[in-house]
Amino acid sequence: MFDVSFGAELTVKSYLHHLKTEHPQCIIAQPCPVLVTYVEVYRPELIPYLAPADSPMVHTMKMIRTYYPQYAHHQIAVLSPCIAKRREFDAVGIGDYNVTMASLQQVMDFNHLQLDSFPDVVYDNPPAERAVLFSSPGGLLETARREMPGIENLARKIEGREMIYPYFNRLHDEIQQGNAPLLVDCLNCHMGCNGGPGTPSRHASVDHLEALVRHRSEALKHEYRQDALATEREYSVVLNDYWQEGLYERQYVDRSSLNRLRIPDDNQLAKVYADMKKFSDEDLINCASCGYGNCRDMAIAIFNGLNRKENCHHYKGTVITDVAVNLSNAIGQMTQFNDAIHQMMQDLSRMSVMMQNDFTTLNGRIDKDKQLLDEFDAIAQSIATIADKTDILAINAAIEAARAGEAGRGFNIVAGEVRKLSEQSSDETEKIKPRLKLIEQLFVDICQKIETALPHFAQTNRLTGEAAEMIRQSNQIQMEKLRSIGDEFKGLVKGRDEVVADEELEDFTERF
């Protein structure tokens, strides 16, 4: 972990080296990427006067790549007070992540973390001295005084967009006339980087912010005195160990071609506004968060391809609101869907129980029918016995009819028919027996299958209940997560409304 304040010390050394070797008429400090872009696009005649050295952040990153080989292939995340730093990193080709202090604060607030709950750690680089003031208005001059006493008398300290841009518009003429200062210490934000757009301190007290920075500066000065590095010469030795000519040079690009704007007509402007989700005069809040000061200029920039609707504060807030509404609707639909699934699982469980009960009842009925089948077998056996007896009686009757002679002939005929009937009864009884055996075996098979199926139904019922409970628990977890996300979105929407209200109040205060 590295301290950008030490990079600021290196930056001042680069500035003074340029001043002493090139003797420029004027040096415009360039730690602010917003001002660099303004010069490149709108005031290219000032490009030769931009300090040909990197900002403190880029000095620090180049120092890491050069003097700390163990981090040569690491990605670099910069904890930054400025959203525009991303543009600077892209321009110089170094710097992987621009993490704003405000976004880090949001993460800490969301996770209920306090900064003072973490232990203090020592930076990997040597400690800075007074360059910790660099983020404050006039911090550059205060640091440069150590190496070049009296430079403050040859410099101009200026900050705040209300002052800096009109000043830049006239600066070239003043340079040509010999009226310009030797060094312009300039920052876009009126509180310097301490109150940059990527900080949670934009509306904090200037005195409070600068007091914190001064306190750290004094502590570091005291530390150097304790370490016997009190003299400027000794500290210069420390800086020389991490500085080499040409390492921290910065080149600039004339981007004035981007300043040739096409002015959209009313229909074209309305279309851009619609893309920005601005549909009424109330949506034209002119919050200046985009940096243009009013919604119309931002829309013109988008029309010319110089900006994107995603950088509009109102657009982002509206999108967040829409996402929150859609998420809320999705949560409601998922709740209904999950309730329907849970109801279906309950219905399936009830049906399984009913089928199990029906099979149990059927098994009981089959047992009873099997008993009837046993009784039917006994009846068939009785019929066979009766047939046998009838056959015996028929034989006896035939014998008696033979004894009776001619008088018993009719009786003999009847006896013969009775014998035939007995034989037929016996034959049919014999046919019934195997079929009864088949029916009996069929009932046995059915009973066995039912007995086998009943445990499966019980297991199905148990698994259905367990599945229903798992679905219920899963749905509960997912719903809690979705509600948490929904609450976070609502917090973002609320925060966006509060920011807009604060900016409107600030604008009202400035006008009156």
Give, for 19, the enclosing helix (H) or strand (E): helix 4-22
pLDDT of residue 328: 78
Those residues whose C-beta lies under 8 Å from the C-beta of residue 3, and which sit 6 or more positions away, are 60, 123, 125, 127, 128
Whether residue 469 is predicted with pLDDT greater than 90 in this model: the reply is no
Helix, strand, coil percentages (3-state) for the chain, rounded to 5, are 70, 5, 25
**Are 281 and 169 found together in one domain?**
no
In a domain, 485, yes or no: yes
Q: Are residues 53 and 103 in the same domain?
A: yes
Q: Is residue 499 part of a domain?
A: no
The dihedral built from the CA positions of residue 13, 17, 23 and 24, taken in this order, carries a sign that is negative
Residue among 223, 19, 194 nearest 130 (CA):
223
Both tokens of 452, joined, read: 């086998």
Average pLDDT over residues 12-41: 94
Chain segment 131-159, per-residue pLDDT in tens: 666 666 666 777 787 778 888 889 998 98
The pair of three-digit structure tokens given for residue 341, joined into one six-digit string: 């699934």
Asked whether residue 391 is domain-assigned, the answer is yes
Same domain, 126 and 248: yes
Select, from the ranges 171-175, 292-296, 433-437, 450-454, the one with the highest average predicted confidence (pLDDT).
171-175
Same domain, 383 and 349: yes
- The C-alpha atoms of residue 363 and residue 31 are separated, in whole angstroms, by 90
Phi, psi of 225 (to 5 degrees): -65, -40
Cα separation values, 285 from 281, 299, 332, 445, 490, Å: 8, 13, 33, 83, 21
Provide the 3-class DSSP secondary structure of residue 50: strand
Range of the domain at 486: 343-490
Same domain? 459 vs 484: yes
Per the structure block, which two tokens stand in for 436?
Answer: 């009864």
Q: Classify residue 185 as exposed, middle or buried by CB count within 10 Å of its CB (0-12, 13-18, 19+).
A: buried
Task: Say if 326 falls within a structural domain.
Answer: no
Based on the fold, state whether residues 272 and 247 are members of the same structural domain.
no
Maximum pairwise Cα distance, the chain:
172
Q: In the prediction, which pLDDT does 412 show?
A: 62
Q: What is the pLDDT of residue 457?
A: 67
Does residue 495 form part of some domain? no
Residue 382 has pLDDT above 70, yes or no: no
Helix (H) / strand (E) containing 158: strand 155-159
Per the structure, how many domains does the chain have?
Answer: 3
Can you read off the two tokens belonging to residue 305? 């391809």
Q: Are residues 163 and 300 in the same domain?
A: no
Between 388 and 118, the higher pLDDT residue: 118
- DSSP of 303-325: HTTSS-GGG-HHHHHHHHHHHHH
Residue 293 is encoded by which pair of tokens? 């000061």
Give the per-residue pLDDT at 242: 94
Q: Based on the fold, state whether residues 363 and 217 are members of the same structural domain.
A: no
Give the mean pLDDT of 76-103: 93
245 and 271 inside one domain: no
Question: Taking the CA of residue 31 as centre, how many other CA atoms within 13 Å lie in the half-sphere pointing to its CB?
Answer: 33
Question: Beta-carbon neighbour count of residue 327 at 10 Å?
Answer: 17
Please report whether residue 305 resides in a domain: yes
pLDDT of residue 373: 61
Cα 320 → chain centroid: 13
Are residues 278 and 202 located together in one domain of the fold? Answer: no
- pTM surpassing 0.85? no
* Residue 370 CB contacts under 8 Å (≥ 6 apart), including other chains: 440, 443, 444, 447
Clarify whether residues 171 and 31 are in a common domain.
Answer: yes
pLDDT beyond 60 at 318: yes
**What's the rounded Cα separation, in Å, for the pair 376 and 370?**
10
Domain CATH number, residue 373: 1.10.287.950
Q: What's the pLDDT score for residue 186?
A: 92
By C-alpha distance, which of 342, 9, 319, 343 is closest to 143? 9
Q: Which of 299, 314, 293, 313 has the alpha carbon at shortest distance from 510? A: 293
Contact 6, 224 (CB under 8 A): no
Name the residue with higher pLDDT: 139 or 76. 76
Output the average pLDDT for the chain: 79
Whether residue 413 lies inside any domain: the answer is yes
Own/partner pairs for 14-18, CB < 8 Å, 24+ apart? 14/51, 14/53, 14/54, 14/59, 14/243, 14/248, 15/51, 15/53, 15/140, 15/144, 15/183, 16/144, 16/147, 16/148, 17/245, 18/51, 18/52, 18/53
Q: Are residues 226 and 270 in the same domain?
A: no
Q: Can you give the pLDDT at residue 17? A: 93
Tell me if 432 is assigned to some domain. yes
Structure token digits, residue 202: 């934009």
Q: How is the beta sheet containing 183-187 ordered, strand by strand?
A: 27-28, 183-187, 155-159
Whether residue 467 is predicted with pLDDT greater than 90 in this model: the reply is no
Question: 139 with 133: CB under 8 angstroms?
Answer: yes
pLDDT tens-digit map of 277-302? 999 999 999 887 887 889 999 999 99
pLDDT value for 489: 61
